[in-house]
Chain A
Amino acid sequence: MIHLQNIRKRFRRPGGGWFDAVQDTSLAITAGEVFGLIGFSGAGKSTLLRLINLLERPDSGAVIVDGQDLTAMDAPALRRARQHLGMVFQQFNLMANRTVADNIAFPLEIAGWSKADIAQRVAECLEVVGLSDRAQHYPAQLSGGQKQRVGIARALAPRPKVILADEPTSALDPKTTQSILDCLRDINQRFGVTVVIVTHEMHVVRSICHRAAVLDAGQVVEVVEVSDGKVDARSDLARSLLEAA
C-alpha cells in the first residue's frame, strides 16, 4: 500500500548546518495493517510519517501510495491523492469555529460532496467514534479524548485507504489513550483502513500494531513483528524501548 523508496530528508538547522531527519530509508507497508513508527524524540519518526502524504517533500527518493507516485504529481493531483489519505494529529488541529459535525464535513466539502451525502457520512462517522450526541458542539466544549475522536472521524470521513496518525495519544491520559487506540483498531478491522501510527511508547505498538519500524537517527534500525501483544525485538534499541514501556 505504501512504499517509501530511498527517502532522504534534511533540514537546515537554525544555527546553520544541516540535520539529517531521514537518511536513505526504504519501507513497505502492507494494505490493511496497523504499522507503527517508533523511536525516541528526534529519531525522525514524525518526519517519516509526514513524508507519506508529502507534508514534507523528500530531498530524494519516491513515495508510492496505492500504486501512485506522489513525488511525481503536480499540485492538483497531489491534493486529490491526499483526499484519500486521512491524518490524525497529536494536537487534534480541529477548527475552533466549526462544530464537531462541520469539522468532520470539512474534507468532504473539499472533495466536492453534495450536502445530503455529507450529512449522511458525517452521521455515520460520528457513530463510529461514538460522538453522535456531540454533533453540534464546538471543539472547545469537548475533552481531549473527544477532540481526538473528532479528529479520527474527520480522517475517516472521505473513506480513505490510509490513515496517518502522528502521536495521536501523546496529549492524552492513559485511560483515554486506550480508548483512542481501541477506536483506531476498530476502524482498521471494520473498514480495512491501513493505519500508520507514530509513537514513542512501546505500549502503543503492543496494543494495536501488527508491525513497527524502530527508528534511530533517521534510519530504520529494525522492523519488529507484534503477535499477541508480544514484540519480537532483536536490536538493542528496540529492547530499550520495550524496557522503557
Chain B
Amino acid sequence: MLLDAPDQEYMYSGHVGCPGCGAAIAMRFTLKALGDKTIMVLPACCWSIIAGPYPMSTLKIPVIHSAFETGGAVASGVRAALDMKGDTETTVVTWAGDGGTFDIGFQALSGAVERNEDFIYVCYDNEAYMNTGVQRSSSTPYGAWTTTTPGPEWKKMRKKNIVEVLVAHRIPYVATANIAFPEDLVHKVQKAKGLKGSRFIHIYASCPTGWRIPSEMSVKIARMAVQTNIFPLYEVESGVKYTINYKPKEYLVREYFKLQGRFRHLTEKDLDQIQEMVNEDWGLLLRKAGESL
C-alpha cells in the first residue's frame, strides 16, 4: 500500500512507549500532518513518559508538559501569547489521553472550546488510565476488565460519547480517527489545521499492555474497531454537518472482543447485548448523518 502522507518525520526513534503502542503511531502521523510550526501542550498521560526523560526528547517540536487537568487552559494561554507576539502561523495543539480529556481535563476542555479558542485538541484514546497501570476511565467501554474493575466488577457502564459532547459545543470541527487508517487521520489533521477556532480530533489508539493483546495485534484490533462499527470514522462540522467517512461491511463485535484479554470474562449473552448497543449507536449516527441503515 502506498501511503499518501508527508515524508517528514517529527518523532525521533527511540521513544519509550511499550511495543505496539497505538499512541506512538497516532503521534507520528499527527505530527506529519501538522508540520514543524507547531507548539504542543502535553498534559499528564502515557505520552508524558513516551516523550522521554530530561535532557532528551522524542519530539522535534516545542512541547510544554502540563498538569493533568490543564490541556484546554494551557493551550488557551499559549494561543493568547502567540497572538500578542503577532505569530498567527504556529498551530497550537493539545495532546491528551482519555483520562485527561473525558475525566480530569473535561472542565478545562469544555471551557476552552466554549470560548472557541483557536487550537486543535487531540485525544488519543486507549480506553483507560494506562500510564498508571490500567485503571478504568469514563472512556473504558462496557464490558472491560481493568485493575479497578476486576473480576465480576467489570465495567457495566457505557463509554462516554466524548465526540457528541464536543459536537454539542458547536465548534468548527470534530472528527474521529484511527491508527489503522493513517491516510484518513492525516487528512483530518490537515483539514483541522486549515480551520480556525476550536477543533477536536478523537484518535483510537490501541494499548497492547492494557488490553491484554499481543503487540503485533495493535493495528489489526484498531482496524476491527472501525469495521465492527464500535469506533466509526466520521466528522462533524459546526456541530451540525455529519459526514461518515467509512461504511464497513457488517462485522460482528464478537470477533473484536474475543481477541482481547480485557474482555475474556464476557459470556455469549453479554456479547449479544453489546452487539445490540453497537447497532443502536450506529443507527443513531446514521440518522444524524441523514443516512439510512
Partners in one complex: no
B: which residues have CB within 8 A of A?
A: none
